[in-house]
Chains A and B, each alone.
Chain A
């Protein structure tokens, strides 16, 4: 509890971001808006998660 993440990184990891992004794509938003904002920030920063997100969306269309 109240440990946090060192500055310069985002407060969620790739696994969490990718899971939340998949759910958002299916219309399910996290209950915590703070988590959703953290996932957005992470995805903006992380090339790996961007690639997964774009591939996921391409496959959908």
Chain B
């Protein structure tokens, strides 16, 4: 090392020959540092005051999903800002919150994809013309409803979808959506569309984890939903599984921006697949 430094200092060897990455080094955007510091300070407050680690982790994830949605909507409304591409803006936010999330002890990579998928689903439904809302903590005490969805054009038979979104890198089919009351059918479809190629053991473990998680979270969601009889519109509990995330062969959303794949009415796009699946459930006469 010393010899190398001496050679560089004496001008015998160009620095780029020893440290090849020197040409790729870039200064860090000051706003990214600010965002990191603020996120760390805010999450540090909750850690110091003994908020549970998984509550802090969930708060970080909700922040990320809200930011991905906001940045994508901003991009759709004002796509002229080419100096800072959407991927860079999302990366800045993701990097800051990843840093702040470290203290929870949970593995960021395990939860990140789920929040990207939730954001992509919200954007897809919004682009399809649905009204998409985030449930408040009173209606969703266990955090098992990701999105509340209505069709503002449906006046004759209005409905409210309580939607839970899951994500997997192993799903072959882009999107699978089922009524939460038909959990058996949903699990059957997931098993039929599971990709075991690559690491068979890891794929099997992921399938088992997904099914266990579906069993618990679906039951919890169904338990606290009011009966449609006592509500001003039909309530339809729905589970959506989306193929996506880093390592997915058939990701339905961009893993860098969270944007849904393809245009809203483009064949094979996330929006088309979501609409095909959803319309089978919500626009049939017999909605359970």
Contacts and interface: CB of A to CB of B under 8 A. Distances in A.
A8 B70 contact: yes
A43 B49 contact: no
A43 B136 CA distance: 15
B248 to A, nearest CB: 23
A11 B59 CA distance: 11
Contact of B134 (A11, A36, A54): A11
Nearest to A56: B45
B114 to A, nearest CB: 14
Contacts of B43: 40, 44
Please classify the interface of chain A as helix (H, G, I), strand (E, B), loop, or mixed, using the class held by over half of its residues. Answer: helix
A53 B52 CA distance: 19
Contacts of A29: 50-51
B69 interface: yes
B49 A41 contact: no
Given A11-B136, A36-B55, A25 B67 contact: no
Given A24-B49, A37-B55, A50-B38, A8 B60 contact: no
Interface string B26-54: 00000000000011011101100111101
B250 interface: no
Contacts of A33: 52, 54-55, 58, 143
A54 B67 CA distance: 22
A18 B239 CA distance: 33
Interface residues of A, number: 34
A48 B143 CA distance: 25
Contact of B58 (A5, A6, A37): A37
Contact of A2 (B55, B122, B126, B148): B148
A44 B100 CA distance: 10
A53 B42 contact: yes
22 contacts: A2-B226, A3-B139, A4-B135, A5-B136, A6-B131, A7-B73, A7-B123, A9-B66, A9-B134, A10-B66, A11-B137, A24-B46, A24-B51, A32-B137, A34-B140, A36-B59, A38-B59, A38-B62, A40-B46, A40-B55, A44-B39, A45-B66
Given A5-B133, A5-B134, A36-B59, 19 more contacts: A2-B226, A2-B231, A4-B136, A6-B132, A6-B133, A6-B134, A7-B66, A7-B73, A7-B122, A7-B132, A10-B62, A10-B66, A27-B50, A33-B58, A36-B55, A37-B58, A37-B137, A37-B143, A44-B63
